[in-house]
Every structure is written in C-alpha cells, then in structure tokens.
Structure 1
Amino acid sequence: MASRPHEIIPEPAPEPLPEPVRYRARLRLSSRSRLALCCLLFSALGLAALAQFYTLNLQYSAAVIAAGVGLWLLLSWAIAPLRREILALNLHAQNLQDGSFNTSANQLQVTELKPLANSLTSMSAQLRAERASLYQRELLLDTVLQSSPTAFILTNHTDTVLMANPAACQLLHQGKKFNGSKLFSLSNLNPQLHQAMAAKQQGLIRFDSSVQSVWHLSVSQFQLNQQQHWLYLLKPLTREIQREELNAWKKLLRVIGHELNNTLAPLSSLAFSGKQIAERQQQADLSQLFDTISERCLHLNQFVQAYINFAKLPPPQITKINWPRLINQLQDQFEFELLGDLPRRDWLADPQQLAQLMLNLLKNAHESGSAPGHISLRCIELANELQLKISDGGGGIAQQLLDQVLVPFYSSKPQGSGIGLTLCRDIAEAHAGSISLRNSTVVAGSPAVSGLEVTVHLPAATDKETIPTSDRH
C-alpha cells in the first residue's frame, strides 16, 4: 500500500496588531456652562439671521443679546430646583458611603427624582437599623465573652494573640492582658496546656491547681480576611466533674448502705438472742462474745448511717438567716472567737444545713490540735458573695494533700470517716456556692501560728433559681 504524502498544514497568518486606542479629550462642562453655551449659540444665530435678512444695527443686536441673556436667566431659574435636588442626592449618597445613615435626601418640587430620594431614604433607614442591630449583637457578644468562665484565645497564622477574654488572661497570664504577644512564648503557660495547644489536641486537660484543675480544650480553624486563624476554647469542668463524682459516690453509698443494713439487722438480733441464751446457761465467756458482736454491729450501723445521711442530703430550704441565733448555736457546741461584725445584709440559705456545715468545720478545727483561742470565725460581705472564714492553729495540711481532703472517704485522721469536708462542700454547692482551703500563718489574737483557713463562699442571690438542678433531687 502506498504511503500517503504528508499533508502540509499552512501556518496561520499572524493576527494584525491592534491599533492603539486613541482617546479623545472630551470637554466636560457643567450644566450651567452648557446652558450658557446654548444661550450664546442662540444669540449668535439670532445675530447671524439679523445680519442676513435685516440691517444689523446696535439696537437690534442689543435686543438679541438681551434675549439670550434673559433666556439664560430663565432657564437657570427653571433648572435651579433640579440642581439643588441632584446636589442633595449626591450629598446623601456620599454620607451613605461614609457610613452616616442619619441624613435624608431633600425632596423638592422635582417629581421625577422623588422615587430616587425615597429609595435613598429607605436605604438609610434600613442601614441604620441594621447597624444598630449589629452594634447590639456586638455588645452582647462582647458582654458574653467578658463574663464567660470559658477562656477564649484567638490567634492568627503566626500564633499572635488577637483577642483574649478576662478568663483567658486569668488562666494564662495572671490576669494581665497579652494581646499582641506570641501565644507559645508566654512564660506562665502551663507545660501540659502548651503541649496540647501546640499539637492542636482537643480533650480534657488536668492542671495542678486547687481551684480549677480540669479543663476541656477545643480548637477551631477558620479563614478570616484570607488568612488562617485559630480559636482556642478552654472550658472549666472541675465543678461538673466533682458533682458527677459526688453523685456517683452517693449512689454507691445508698446501695452499700442498703445491703449492710439488711445484714446488720439479723446479726444484731442473733447476737441479742445468743447473749440471753448464754446468760441462762451461765456461760460468761460466750455472753461477752455476743456483747462484742452487738457492740461492733451498733458501731458499724452508726458508721453506715452517717454515710447514708450524707448520701440523702435533702434540697436546701431557703430562708433568711438569723445570724445571732446561728452564732449562739455554734458557740454552744464549740469554742471559737468571732472576729469582726456579723453580716448586716439579708442572706438567704438553709439554716439547718448552714449550721451543720459550720459545726463540721469547727469540729475539724478543734480536732486539728489547735488551741481553742486560735480558732476564729470571720464574716466578710462582698458585693456578690458572703465569705465565712474559719481559721485554726493546728499546723495546717500538707500542700500536696489540699486537693484530696474534699474527696469522699479521704481523711487524714486515723479514725476519720472522710465525709465531713465532703458534706460541707456538698452543702455549699447545693447553695450555688463553693468551699476553699489554704494554709495560713497568721491567727488573730495570737503570735504567728501556722494553721488551716477554710472559706465558705455563698453567692448574694442564693434563691431557688440559683441552685443547680442536679442538687435539688
């Protein structure tokens, strides 16, 4: 088969170069100038017609020129409202461009421009309302960010902090603002938090802190102004986790208490019957054995009842506290010194539960080995809370144990049950408050003595709406 000759494809002809665009200078005249030019042209045509058909003299020429000037004045007067309206509309449009939405377009006698003026006025009102709504939303968002216990940190692609709310400043920089700083160059940044934030690892983080030790880190990435940004959210979960742990302990205590009571009741009955039989048979050793069993059953029953009472703490019955009566009840049980004045404002709480809380704290203070003269109570009224401080001179608690004394069943006493301070914390949280402990070195009325200071924080509005729902059941 003969091979086909190669086809020769002609090259496309080069496209002609575009001719350079020539811009003609255009004379831009204002409306008044164009009107004057038209009147001048009219006068020139009138003079030309006069010279062509009539005799050109001074009187006729002056009349034609006067007619042109009069026409110019008449037309200027006629279009003056239009010019003023257009000027007002231009000014209104410039105000809208500059962000001033409080002006309106002047509506004169030019009917054709009224729809445009109405549209601009309606646009101004709509933009004004939207700006007011946006401002209110920004104000609400800023209020939420400033008052939220969740720490917010916003950084750009270079890890420069653009925004940090007060909770973040308190957590990461001892309450000082650090906007504009590099996030990972902060000297007070916790090593565990530094590692989690650098790795963008979301989840629970535990700090070595006695106030808020458990936090949840959430990291989000988004684009803003065509740049990458990171939003870090740190939510405190210590109170929630402690409450859930406490509820779990209470459920366990109720189950264990029920089973122990079902066992102790027949044991006590059998021990009592055995003792009577041993006494009739005059077997002293056997009778003493049954006495020991009965005593231990009684002691174990009291021990179980204490835990059951803790697990069945009823919701607080809120009422106004009678402070003189409460202090007298406390002083009838334990000796302590009242420092300062009693609260002057009306504070709402459950009197019985608050008295139980204070009795437990005073009992612990006396059992710490402190001299009675070193035990004191001070009431401090703040704008948003009441602080009840109980101090002793019993030497305090080791710093590493301060976080554990509020855990159920933990006790530093050989014969302690581990529910005293836990019950105090439960009562305080049932009133939407809290309890904190710290070692102190100064006790009023005595030389410098080391001891423990326990502070009960009760909020100002301890009504039923402020009590956590989980603590009412």
Structure 2
Amino acid sequence: MQPLRREILALNLHAQNLQDGSFNTSANQLAIDELRPLATSLENMSAQLRSERASLYQRELLLDTVLQSSPMALILTNYHDTVLMNNPAASQLLTQGKKFAGSKLNSLTQHMPLLHQAMLTKQQGLLRLDNTEQAVWHLSISQFQLNQQQHWLYLLKPLTREIQREELNAWKKLLRVIGHELNNTLAPLSSLAFSGKQLAEQAQQAALSRLFDTLSERCAHLNQFVQAYIEFAKLPPPQADRINWPRLINQLQDHYDFELQGELPTRHWHADPQQLAQLLLNLLKNAHESGSAAAHISLRCTELASALQIQVQDGGGGIAAELLQQVLVPFYSSKPQGSGIGLTLCRDIAEAHGGSISLANYTAGDSSGSAVSGLRVIVTLPEITPT
C-alpha cells in the first residue's frame, strides 16, 4: 500500500494547489503509476484553468482600458447611493478630475441642478449642462443585482459634437440645393445684363448702360457670395501630408501681421496643408477685424503627447460670454458685413482632421504692464500617421 499512498499524497497536493489558485504546478509524475488517469485529468484541468485565467485577465485589462479612455462618463453606485466605481471622464465632469469613489452621488451633483434632478428621479434622456465643455449629454440609467444587492449604473454620453456634425451636414445639404438654384438664375441674368449694356451703348442710352453695369456688378458680387458658401459646403476630405512649418508661417505672414510665440513644432505633424492654412488665415483675419493692435495678435504651437495645439490670440476685447458658442453656428456673425462661415469653416476643418476648436476670453498683462483682453482660439489636432 505504500506506493499507492505516495500517489494519493501527490495527487492530493496537486488538488490543494488547484484549490489555492496555483494552476502552474502538477503532481510529481515519478510518484504516479496506478492513478495515472486521475493525474492526467488533473493536469488537463490545470491547463484549462490557466488558459481561462489568462483569458479573463486579458478581458479585464481590455475593459479597464476602454473605461479609462472612454469619453462617456460612467458611475456605479450601490443601494446606499455610494459611488463604488467611476472612470476619469466622470471625475472630469463632476469634480474637475478629482477622485470621488466612496462619496455620495447625491452630494456630488448638487452644483448641476438638471443632472441632480435627473439622477434623483432616475429620468433618462437628453440634458443640457451649460457649465461643461460638452453642452449636450445623454443620460442612461441601468438597475441590476450584484452580490444580491441593488446597484445603479449611470452612463453620460457627450452628444454636442455629434449634434453639431449633423447640424453642419444639414446646413451643407441646404447650401448645395440653394447654390444650385441661384447659379441657374444668375447665369442668364448676367448674360441678359451684358446684352442689355451693349444694346444701350448702341442706342447711346448712357443712363440705361449704367443701370446694366450696376446689374452686372451685383450679379458678380452675388455669384462670389454664393461660390464662397458652395466651397464651404463641398469641403473635401483632408489629404494628410507633412507640414512644412517655416513655409506655412511665411505664407500666413504674407497676409497678416502677427507675433510668433515660442518655437515651431519639431516633430513630424501631418495635416492637409491647404486646409490648415485656410483655417489659420480665417483666425488671423478675425483677429485683425476685432480691432486689436497687430502687436497683440500672436500665434503659438504647443506639442502635446499625442496632439498639437495651435493658439491664435488677439487683443480686441473678446466676445460676450453668451455669444462664445453661437459664433461657431453656420451663418451667425457678430459683424455687420459678416457671412457667418469663417469660424464654422475652421471648426469643420478641425473636426475633419479628428480635432477640435475652442474659444475663450482672456485678460493678461502686456510687455508694458498694461492689461489686455481679447479672444483666445485653440485648435487641437491629433497625431496622424500617414498612410
């Protein structure tokens, strides 16, 4: 019985290791003879448990990575309204990036009345949170049992960009239809005005000739106006190429005066050169039209880990706080002769590159110590790998 006892002890030790979660050990094969089928079954069980544990670990790692990088705010609470888990997006939304696991969710949302009421009454749907970077959010709430206790999962998805994109696409579609109809009308009008001017000159009718001149001039002006909108509506997808920064800055300075602050980017950044130049020209044009002195208009590039920030700043006094978001809406302009597509085109170009544009008023001291206020526009472009 002694050899059989050694086999049983070896298999018992292997089983205890499995029970303790150690799946990388096995029974001493030299001590196994009569009970080899049982030992083989335990070996197969160990291999399967090792594989399943590795797979489970990889899934947990993937889930954690998704939650940590997701723009959607996630909050898990128990039935006492205590926060058990949240991701960085939720921290940024509610506490400016501070951790709040273990806090009461009810107290964390007091400064956001609409969100507070929606979570309190478990009301799902769209919310407008004006004091956040993304204004429009969708709240969804799930209830489930975990460890035989009631839990709540709150998901807040930012929808501002999606809504703006759909709104922009709708405007572009409308522009294409209107532009087509106007072009069909302007072409014969211009031709008739030209023919009428020739007939008036032949009949020596100077007053009538001047009338046709005015008509032709207004047709040409309207055609330019329409073409500008059509160009905006048909913005092609960006063709990414390596940016030649010295050439780009020289092109911009040929059109507008500004101060280049800091150094030019040293890493290889890729974007559509023509679209990027158009974006920056629009921003510099707005800066000069704000009434700012040229000495207070500046451009700065900042290289981040995986994105590039381009800042254009002026000293024109800024924009009223309630108009900061409206200036990005198509056709809205605070200028009497403005078309309302300049900043919208800038936003369209930035988002076509996968980036974003933000506007903010600022006040700072200049080199002489005087206070200067104006508008600061930051364009953020992600790092693009060329294909």
TM-score, length-normalised on structure 1? 0.78
Are residues 344 and 167 of structure 1, via their aligned partners in 2, closer, same or farther at CA, if it must alter by over 3 Å? Answer: same
SS in 2 for 1:450: strand
Q: CA deviation at 1:209?
A: 4.4
Whether 2:198 is the aligned partner of 1:280: answer: no
Give aligned pairs, total.
386
The match for 2:264 is: 342
The match for 2:351 is: 429
Within the candidate set 86, 95, 98, 2:20 is matched to 98
CA deviation map 1:85-109 (0-9, x unaligned): 2222222222222222222122455
The match for 2:321 is: 399
The match for 2:379 is: 456
SS in 2 for 1:440: strand
SS in 1 for 2:327: coil
The match for 1:380 is: 302
The match for 1:267 is: 189
Structure 2 CA distance for aligned equivalents of residues 378 and 181 of structure 1: 41
Q: CA deviation at 1:306?
A: 0.6
Within the candidate set 220, 233, 236, 1:314 is matched to 236
The match for 1:170 is: 92
CA deviation map 1:43-80 (0-9, x unaligned): xxxxxxxxxxxxxxxxxxxxxxxxxxxxxxxxxxxx33
Unaligned segments of structure 1, at least 5 residues: 1-78, 465-473
Structure 2 CA distance for aligned equivalents of residues 462 and 102 of structure 1: 42
8 A contact 1:392–1:443 mirrored in 2: no
Q: CA deviation at 1:204?
A: 1.9
Where is the strand percentage greater, Structure 1 or Structure 2? 2
Are residues 270 and 245 of structure 1, via their aligned partners in 2, closer, same or farther at CA, if it must alter by over 3 Å? Answer: same
CA RMSD of aligned residues (A): 1.8
SS in 1 for 2:212: helix
Question: Counterpart of 2:267 in structure 1: which amino acid?
Answer: R
The match for 1:4 is: none
Structure 2 CA distance for aligned equivalents of residues 405 and 281 of structure 1: 51
Within the candidate set 225, 235, 238, 2:157 is matched to 235
Are residues 315 and 262 of structure 1, via their aligned partners in 2, closer, same or farther at CA, if it must alter by over 3 Å? Answer: same
8 A contact 2:332–2:341 mirrored in 1: yes
Point out the structure with max Rg over C-alpha: 1
Unaligned segments of structure 2, at least 5 residues: none
TM-score, length-normalised on structure 2? 0.95
Q: CA deviation at 1:222?
A: 1.4
Question: Counterpart of 1:265 in structure 2: which amino acid?
Answer: A
Structure 1 CA distance for aligned equivalents of residues 288 and 10 of structure 2: 85
Are residues 463 and 243 of structure 1, via their aligned partners in 2, closer, same or farther at CA, if it must alter by over 3 Å? Answer: farther
Q: CA deviation at 1:448?
A: 2.4
Structure 2 CA distance for aligned equivalents of residues 330 and 361 of structure 1: 11
Question: Counterpart of 1:171 in structure 2: which amino acid?
Answer: L
Q: CA deviation at 1:276?
A: 2.9
Q: CA deviation at 1:349?
A: 0.9
126-135 vs 393-402, which moves further: 126-135
Higher relative contact order (CA 8 A, sep 6+): 2
Q: CA deviation at 1:416?
A: 0.2
Are residues 187 and 315 of structure 1, via their aligned partners in 2, closer, same or farther at CA, if it must alter by over 3 Å? Answer: closer
8 A contact 2:93–2:132 mirrored in 1: no
8 A contact 1:411–1:418 mirrored in 2: yes
